[in-house]
Amino acid sequence: MPPRLLARLERELARGAGLVAILDYDGTLTPIVPSPRAAVLAPSVRTTLLRLAASDRARLAILSGRALADVRARVAIDNVIYGGCHGLEIQGRGLAFRHPRVRAARIVAARRTLAAGAEAIPGSRVEFKGLAVSLHYRRVALSRRRAVRDLATRVLRRVPDLALISGREVFDFVPRVRWSKGEAARWIARRAGRTLRRGRPVVVYAGDDATDEAAFAALKGRALTVRVGDGPSVAEYRVRDVRAMQAVLRRLAVALG
């Protein structure tokens, strides 16, 4: 664990500040696994999240590219703010947001085109998320990855007003509405912080993927940003892996009392 990060967190919390913790799910709370369906919270991680969610000094948010219902079902803890589809939908602890410019018809059209094309690419899988649709290719042979990219390009050409977000062996098609994890994280931090009534809270954002870089950039100077794993990043701090991030969260739970 990075000693600078821990020392700063514990110093801020020792003076009585509240905490807003915004966490990615896959690759941050759970390891990356061969199938997204197999990404299950370990009991020890659930215990730590329960402690954070129960603290009157903390507000916990899980912000994911997964569908809102999916990430909520996987975490299944009350008093948590859940963000799905990269923050296009947010619910929990009295907060509710759904981007007003989302047009479901565009997502449905993209889903049809993706489903038709994915039939010819063994190992690919299309996931409909309501406000987004994803093309997973983690199980596609390297020799067929070009076909996946070609399909993604074809969808963008045929269905207007969509943007492509590239994640870990997944392409997410979302409405082109100038909204990303960056805007969503700032929305959550601002509103969740107001409910703490302890002055300015400490905001922590942790993520592992290229999609989290938008949040790291948007929160620069406003939050302690933590990159989980390797790869280039604009985050202020870095932890080695999911296990190290779990240790940081345990220390936070202890510091909050």
Residues with catalytic roles: 24
Scanning the structure block, which residue is given the tokens 């199938």?
35
> Count of CB atoms within 10 A of residue 198's CB?
14
Instruction: Give the sheet arrangement for strand 58-63, strand by strand.
Output: 95-98, 89-92, 80-84, 58-63, 19-23, 202-207, 224-228, 237-239
- Using DSSP, state whether 134 is helix, strand or coil: strand
Structure tokens at 173: 């098609």
CA distance 16 to 196: 11
Q: Where are the alpha helices (DSSP H) in 97-206?
A: 104-118, 145-158, 181-194
Output the CA–CA distances (angstroms, integers) from residue 170 to 50, 62, 144, 211, 250, in the order listed: 30, 19, 14, 11, 30
